[in-house]
A and B are shown apart, each in its own frame.
Chain A
């Protein structure tokens, strides 16, 4: 198992959680798989039916469980299988960034983007960019301590 958070310098491999909607972005990730192009293995995928299901608490939970970055991928505007869940996800992401910024967590650690079922290459590009961005930022030093999912506290990571 690769432990990474204290790996100063070149050895740092960021851990990223990717929330992918079932209909577009998860299918886009499968499409990338079909093309059999290699990409960084740092993103751990958690599938949800719709990006609208991504509760901001999931993102905070990911940070508290050790993620250095979070990727939320949705259907393109107008393409949502559930009509408008992706708009909700986009709105929540904006709101969440303000909270994260207030606690000194960089916006770049939480990226929201659109990947369609056909966009395998776009999935790879977004994912690779995210990994490189977070790699450049270094390990997340803030930790979100939370046993109760309804009350999140952000502290220095030990």
Chain B
């Protein structure tokens, strides 16, 4: 084997401390070293030209470059090798600047240390194999789970580039949580007005044909890997034709069955055939078969008969269906839900009438809500005072330790919305901490504080609050006591609890389906909290919006856009997916099928072939850390470019 050694003086950075002559002498007699050449500045244009020409002239089998840190110029020299027609992996760089010349005073010792490093590289490079980047076919389609702000933004951004998107939404309507709100913080903008242009764009816009919307649907299985995922999606029947129905609502008005309306948190009733709320999109009702008389064996056809378009719009024979979609990437944007205030029983959630959660209160304020936007108690009374409890289950080691950052803004918004609706109603804010970071958020706090009917009271621990129905209704039907200060009781007609945001129901199940991971709090876990907060730990699966962390609409939209950016950047239509060659691979002869490697792999890159009883490494998912290689008890796992042989040789070399 012919190995060439190139020694870079790095101007005088290296040559001041490392004597190339001494190094050359120490290398004398080292097998396979065919030549030792010195250059003043290898990374300069002249230096690179010299290297390129010299490789062409000498035709070495391997080369060693003793210069700066490979973190500095390894890629530079790899490109030179490629340009000179030599496989770039047949080179080993030796760091004799940062780790030798700059840190060793004595020239003799520095030169000797450099020689040892170079010997290690010479021994090692003999074991280098010419590696090639592989490329595989991939799909540029994208699956998005969740049609809230983050999912919608991602879907629209990707569709606008002409890419196909499948948008899977569990509920019958798109728009997520905010579409259920009347106004959003920080500027009390009308929520439907803000979202409807986006929803219309998604449903009927110029790029709508690129977006397939599957409502009342869930992803039940995901197989494959980045570039080549296959999803099984379960579609629950809607029993109405999504394409032909004109959404007139005739069928809803004739339905004889009333059930609790979960879209208004059970605060009113809906029909068995219903829209989620007035204005829900797609504007097509669904039949709740658990409530419909037909499910009880009756041949009720009132909805079908009332349809002005005739038969064929209401579809009693509609059935559950599993559809398969293939895609290159997945964006998860399933949002969050509220911490269960029932876990703090003294707060009266679900037991004391007129104690509401913030979501329930949003619906009470909404013109499409159970009272049509009229703010009244369950008994129909206009509330004289309302208590807003901040930090429910937040900043509390007995509940959730974090601050969700959005609940205070909701409470300030409620303050102003109440003031607009009921000018004389008193408002009590009970809070543990008040937060309003950001350029717009303070404004809302200031406005809430300026409300002459508003009082702000701080409490230390939510466990000391007791909310009960008042026996004496004078001044309010609910009494809020702080047990630490008996005298400081507050009376109110309504209490609104503002709980922490927590992962949406079934987040754990979805994590299992997707093979992604969850963080300490159960949110989808990001690859890196600051650098890569929209990437999950599985390559090609992105997480956007409040399913990653509590956040507001603006942040969710931004994350949706960020996820779209990753997808558009990584999956380019018509191109192949390039695979880095430094990965692990299995020697099937030696693999005993113990699966130790599978348990260790942080990227789910190793699968088990049950038929052969062997492990298999997916080169797309493998990141080349080599943890599995070190763990394999049979020595069956190999690490490209970092083989045992190469590292053993390097160890021998540096100690020689």
Contact = CB atoms under 8 A, between A and B. Distances in A.
A43 B400 CA distance: 47
Interface stretch (A25-33, A101-109, A130-138): A25-33
Nearest to A92: B630
A84 interface: yes
Nearest to B108: A2
A87 to B, nearest CB: 9
Contacts of A66: 655
Contact of B627 (A26, A34, A38, A52): A52
Contacts of B116: 44
Given A33-B102, A46-B651, A27 B627 contact: no
A84 B628 CA distance: 12
A37 B103 contact: yes
A17 B630 contact: no
Contacts of B627: 50, 52-53, 82, 84-85, 88
Contacts of A83: 537, 602
A143 interface: no
Contacts, number: 126
Interface string A66-78: 1100000000000
B346 interface: no
B159 interface: no
Given A33-B69, A57-B644, A149-B644, A46 B654 contact: yes
Interface string B100-113: 10111110011011
Interface string B65-105: 00001110000000000000000000000010111101111
Interface in B630-646: 630-631, 635, 639, 642, 644
Given A41-B112, A44-B117, A49-B582, A62 B602 contact: no
Nearest to A66: B655
Interface stretch (B307-315, B375-383, B387-395, B618-626): B618-626
Contact of A53 (B105, B629, B656): B629
Contacts of B655: 15, 17, 44, 62, 65-67
Interface in A1-38: 1-2, 15, 17, 26-27, 29-30, 32-34, 36-38
Contacts of B654: 17, 44-46
Interface in B188-210: none
B46 interface: no
Most A CB atoms within 10 A — which of B626, B644, B652?
B626
Contacts of A41: 100, 103-104, 106, 109-110, 112-113
B626 A38 contact: no
B650 A46 contact: yes
A1 B104 contact: no
B352 interface: no
A134 to B, nearest CB: 14
Contacts of B631: 88
A82 B623 contact: yes
B120 A82 contact: no
Given A45-B95, A49-B626, A33 B644 contact: no
Select the residue from B120, B624, B625, B652 with max chain A CB neighbours within 10 A. B625
B105 A38 contact: yes
Interface string B112-138: 110111001000000000000000000
Given A38-B104, A67-B655, A82-B623, A46 B69 contact: no
A1 B26 contact: yes
B647 A48 contact: yes
Contact of A36 (B102, B625, B635, B648): B102
Contacts of A32: 98, 103
Contacts of A26: 71
Contacts of A55: 629-630, 644
B600 interface: yes
B71 A149 contact: no
B111 to A, nearest CB: 10
A149 B652 CA distance: 13
A49 B651 contact: no
Looking at B71, B103, B104, B116, the one whose CB has the most chain A CB atoms below 10 A away is B103
Contacts of B106: 41
A39 B102 CA distance: 10
A46 B117 CA distance: 9
Nearest to A42: B113
A115 interface: no
Given A38-B104, A52-B625, A88-B627, A46 B647 contact: yes
A158 interface: no
Contacts of B642: 48-49, 53
Nearest to A91: B631
Interface in A96-134: 124
Interface of A: 1-2, 15, 17, 26-27, 29-30, 32-34, 36-39, 41, 44-50, 52-58, 61-62, 65-67, 81-85, 88, 92, 124, 149-150
8 contacts: A36-B103, A44-B113, A44-B117, A46-B654, A53-B627, A82-B602, A82-B627, A83-B537
Q: Which 6 A-B pairs have the closest CB atoms?
A: A33-B98, A53-B626, A52-B627, A44-B654, A82-B625, A50-B625
Given A17-B654, A41-B103, A49-B624, 10 more contacts: A39-B103, A41-B100, A44-B113, A46-B654, A49-B626, A52-B627, A62-B655, A67-B651, A81-B625, A82-B625
